[in-house]
Structure 1
């Protein structure tokens, strides 16, 4: 007789959570604030060839004008803005003769962040991402009238309600629809004033930038739950790379520090590997646990996120408590450099033999060698700045050739190797890999890491890369951020503003209520997951 298969819980392969760190994180857990919000009206979605995503909204009147719905009917409710939260309504029955509601009512609800979510069908579904992330629900209500609240949290502006089936003897009406917005953000921020800007910014540009800022603030607020979620629609959890940028934006706007502290301690408390390597993501539910994967560049970004936090909050105790965690990430990465102090691993574009991968950006053609090498330098410099801020001696790490090397020496050697092997003086920019690929990523991270010997060389490399016909551009706002930050670091403020208007402004033009995880204005339905509808 064949024995049944025995499956080992993959969670058993991960180190146990570090209780001391998790306890600190839990002590910083914020309360969620729920705000009821009424819809602004009903709409139809109509095809529009001029719109970037192909649709426009046409008003159908107020919610009070909603007709009685029968099998096959549908309605789209517009709440006039994006939120993270829940949806409730009263489901009323209207009998057509003497029969009451003599059979259950089955509804399908589709939650839309943008109009195309509720205008287009999700089938055929083409993504490798789990289909259960799609923002739709089918519910069956046995007895009418009945108050209904959707148990699952969604991120939405629009709700399309379809009547899948009701008896021929009655119809239904949706009454009192309410969105219950939830966030841990308690602060408000006034519109951009441009008080310190001169006449170099036109009134038209100020209008565009204010709109971009408004959408950015809404994006941040809706991601501020009990952690900084990477996306409240999907994946609904905490990632290191997203944490750093969200916290940076928060320090300049809502000025919350407790949420960042919680997130930093959650990562420290849920390591991916017994060697001290951090997980790329953390799950809160049903209990705090490691996300089960590690991303090399994200682990390195942890040091910068910790430095940012200490600089803004002044909380040096946390900096000292977590310093060794951040230092360990750099030490592990430096341990993979070769005799020429160049970061080298097999299969840098995919899953490595040590169970981690390299992200940088979702662009599939991107060569990541130069980017990762420079991110290591960026991380080491963050650690050096943090050690000075905390009054600690210059940190040392083990390397392939020595058990204790000051990170200042490692920075010097890795910077020299980057200039010798990754900078092409004939092109005046940084290249990556055996094919000497030109990309925004390589040059942005080289500038962020301070590899260029002067600001002039950095600025020239960025200008040349930005305009080069063969350059590999970025797919995600994540990498676009570092390109803009590199522009500013290189003294190219005008180019930074131009890029913000062109990239984030094009999302606003396309109908974004919040900024998306992947976007190319020339390929508006591009998706790293092979299906635009699963994008968050």
Structure 2
């Protein structure tokens, strides 16, 4: 996946360590078989099969298992592709309950006695949607569907094709004939497609056929416009495409009385669809890589649109790779911390303890790497090989000990403590909690400035810098690290202060607006969404961009990284309204793992009405809110609807509790519907 990127036809690999699969895997499971049964076995790789430690001759495609309790082992070697098995009997079938290891630690002494294998680390096998032996994992491809252009402009030996909006897939050339060369120039904008010297991606085709034929480009690409240029001896009838997509289902929704907000939601949804592939990737044109910072935001958006756990898990595994740890994830210090944060949120939203257990050992070794790179004061500071990213912002200092990195480490240590408890590693949980508390204490002792009423950006040579940035301050709000007084101070001194350097990427606008929503500023945030995301729409965006600065003009919007068309016009981190509208306007969020408990605090933010669905592990929470009525249907667990009213609300389906000062609560039971009238 991460080695499909090309830049103007040149292979462009990632610049961090890529780990291959384990080439030798041992799969096993113990079955209690009620009656003798025949079992079919399909394997990708060389293999042997054992029952109760006794090997069958050769590599059988079918075995007979007698009645009784038996342990079946299938050991598979495959250097080219991931070792995989498909087992199908009446009761003996392959699924995620099988255990797997890449080293069984077994040895045999001179008497022929086998050692015990108590030191072997067994994990649950990965199990995906390969539900037929004909579906080979090594041949997996995303599904496609045909898509036609909305317009085609024919020139002399050229076609300029417009697909109407940002899209992704394989270009198809129809009625191709003649002898010569054909070039396909891709563009997210018309300007890019027409710029044969500076467009980011292209294809070259050698044509030598007298009969008309169709040809499909080998790699899928991102584009809206396609500029096809042919030599004199080449003819082409038309161009279409195969749209490539991940087959995930929408479960969340949002609509309201404001059509611009509805349009922002819909384009956010489409942006996220395009960047949801085998994994959650950053953007579809340029990198198409798995970046941890981008993925972390995608996880959160996913919980309010798809609730697709498998893509979260695949992306988490892919980012982490194998031991030993030789560098930060994607080489970026903050991206290592986002990996930990992603696991914290995954458990909160899904309640999936097994995934924590599967990852815990690699969480520990990654955290060991992090802790070994602290300076003499126990703080994270740049070391050779590190990239401190934070955000694309002009002149953003990375010198000294940056407060934002210490804050992310504190939260990562809290994640480690949580996961250590789940893994029954109580001593480690105590140690991680102690380290986390120490980091939080240091964060405020070292970086809080009473005069500036904010956390300063960094400390250099043991002294606070004068610079205040938004990053550590806004994260401390929704991490709930500030007390109420500090939250109000930071809202005024930082978030609503135009003298503090502004954020121009949707990446950090995500967190800035989340912090403001957490402070109850939904009215302000709604206006910001309309200005910022609405600003892109006014410029003709059909998906949301990697960066947007309203001060730029014309084709300036397409430039980045010193290249005329370097900017991604479809970037996953641009889709954050999915998360903001679900969590802070519909107001639905879990308060215990897997939505066993949750709260619903709707906030219209100046809207007249809104309605939507928020997915949970056991169904969708449905909500309609207007200025005088709330309708809600529960899903998993037990929810608490919190709202304000000037007079006592009326609800015939449940008991509304008066919490004082015009605040009320209603308990929402699973699969029950309630209507509340209030004012």
> Is 1:372 the equivalent of 2:405?
yes
CA gap of 1:182–1:507, structure 2 versus 1, over 3 A, is same
| Alpha-carbon distance in 1 for matches of 2:342, 2:392 | 21
Candidates 255, 277, 286, aligned match of 2:307: 255
Whichever structure has more helix as a proportion of its residues is 1
| Alpha-carbon distance in 2 for matches of 1:304, 1:85 | 32
Candidates 104, 109, 131, aligned match of 2:184: 109
Candidates 169, 173, 189, aligned match of 1:85: 169
| Alpha-carbon distance in 1 for matches of 2:389, 2:473 | 16
The residue that corresponds to 1:493 in the other structure is 522
| Alpha-carbon distance in 2 for matches of 1:392, 1:207 | 50
**TM score, norm. by length of structure 2:** 0.58
CA gap of 1:13–1:300, structure 2 versus 1, over 3 A, is closer
Cα distance, 1:318 vs structure 2: 0.9
| Alpha-carbon distance in 2 for matches of 1:186, 1:156 | 22
The residue that corresponds to 1:516 in the other structure is 545
> Is 1:396 the equivalent of 2:463?
no
> Is 1:531 the equivalent of 2:563?
yes
| Alpha-carbon distance in 2 for matches of 1:494, 1:333 | 40
Aligned residue runs from structure 1 range 452-463, under 5 A:
452=482, 454-463=483-492
| Alpha-carbon distance in 2 for matches of 1:500, 1:12 | 35
SS of structure 1 residue aligned to 2:329: coil
CA gap of 1:117–1:189, structure 2 versus 1, over 3 A, is farther
The residue that corresponds to 1:143 in the other structure is 209
SS of structure 2 residue aligned to 1:533: coil
The residue that corresponds to 2:416 in the other structure is 383
The residue that corresponds to 2:387 in the other structure is 357
Candidates 470, 493, 500, aligned match of 1:471: 500
The residue that corresponds to 1:409 in the other structure is 434
SS of structure 1 residue aligned to 2:557: coil
> Is 1:41 the equivalent of 2:104?
no
| Alpha-carbon distance in 2 for matches of 1:385, 1:492 | 31
| Alpha-carbon distance in 2 for matches of 1:173, 1:26 | 44
CA gap of 1:13–1:344, structure 2 versus 1, over 3 A, is closer
The residue that corresponds to 2:448 in the other structure is 423
| Alpha-carbon distance in 2 for matches of 1:429, 1:225 | 40
The residue that corresponds to 1:295 in the other structure is 332
The residue that corresponds to 2:242 in the other structure is 180
CA gap of 1:332–1:13, structure 2 versus 1, over 3 A, is closer
Contact 1:459 1:491 in 2 (8 A): no
CA gap of 1:208–1:393, structure 2 versus 1, over 3 A, is farther
CA gap of 1:18–1:362, structure 2 versus 1, over 3 A, is farther
Q: Which has the larger radius of gyration?
A: 2
The residue that corresponds to 1:291 in the other structure is none
Unaligned runs of 5+ in 1: 1-9, 43-65, 94-100, 126-132, 195-202, 281-293, 398-404
The residue that corresponds to 2:291 in the other structure is 239
Candidates 158, 162, 165, aligned match of 2:229: 162
| Alpha-carbon distance in 2 for matches of 1:421, 1:356 | 23
Cα distance, 1:261 vs structure 2: 1.3
CA gap of 1:529–1:336, structure 2 versus 1, over 3 A, is same
Cα distance, 1:172 vs structure 2: 3.2
| Alpha-carbon distance in 2 for matches of 1:299, 1:429 | 25
| Alpha-carbon distance in 1 for matches of 2:488, 2:510 | 16
Whichever structure has more strand as a proportion of its residues is 2
The residue that corresponds to 1:5 in the other structure is none
| Alpha-carbon distance in 2 for matches of 1:442, 1:527 | 29
CA gap of 1:12–1:508, structure 2 versus 1, over 3 A, is closer
Candidates 320, 325, 333, aligned match of 2:370: 333
Cα distance, 1:461 vs structure 2: 1.0
Cα distance, 1:34 vs structure 2: 0.7
| Alpha-carbon distance in 2 for matches of 1:217, 1:238 | 19
CA RMSD of aligned residues (A): 3.2
The residue that corresponds to 1:54 in the other structure is none
SS of structure 2 residue aligned to 1:373: helix
* 1:319-360 deviation line (CA, Å, top 9, x unaligned): 12212323443443344444554x242xx3xxx32x222221
SS of structure 2 residue aligned to 1:437: coil
* 1:408-449 deviation line (CA, Å, top 9, x unaligned): 222222222221221221121221134322222232233344
Contact 2:413 2:436 in 1 (8 A): yes
The residue that corresponds to 1:279 in the other structure is 329
| Alpha-carbon distance in 1 for matches of 2:516, 2:419 | 24
| Alpha-carbon distance in 2 for matches of 1:35, 1:13 | 34
| Alpha-carbon distance in 2 for matches of 1:488, 1:301 | 21
| Alpha-carbon distance in 1 for matches of 2:164, 2:547 | 23
| Alpha-carbon distance in 1 for matches of 2:299, 2:480 | 23
SS of structure 2 residue aligned to 1:192: strand
SS of structure 1 residue aligned to 2:277: coil
Candidates 361, 365, 368, aligned match of 1:324: 361
**TM score, norm. by length of structure 1:** 0.73
* 1:336-393 deviation line (CA, Å, top 9, x unaligned): 444554x242xx3xxx32x2222211224223411111111222233344456x3746
| Alpha-carbon distance in 2 for matches of 1:12, 1:193 | 41
Contact 2:495 2:512 in 1 (8 A): no
Cα distance, 1:79 vs structure 2: 1.4
| Alpha-carbon distance in 2 for matches of 1:219, 1:13 | 28
| Alpha-carbon distance in 1 for matches of 2:327, 2:227 | 44
> Is 1:228 the equivalent of 2:280?
yes
Cα distance, 1:469 vs structure 2: 4.2
SS of structure 2 residue aligned to 1:185: coil
Unaligned runs of 5+ in 2: 1-13, 27-81, 84-124, 130-136, 569-679
CA gap of 1:321–1:179, structure 2 versus 1, over 3 A, is same
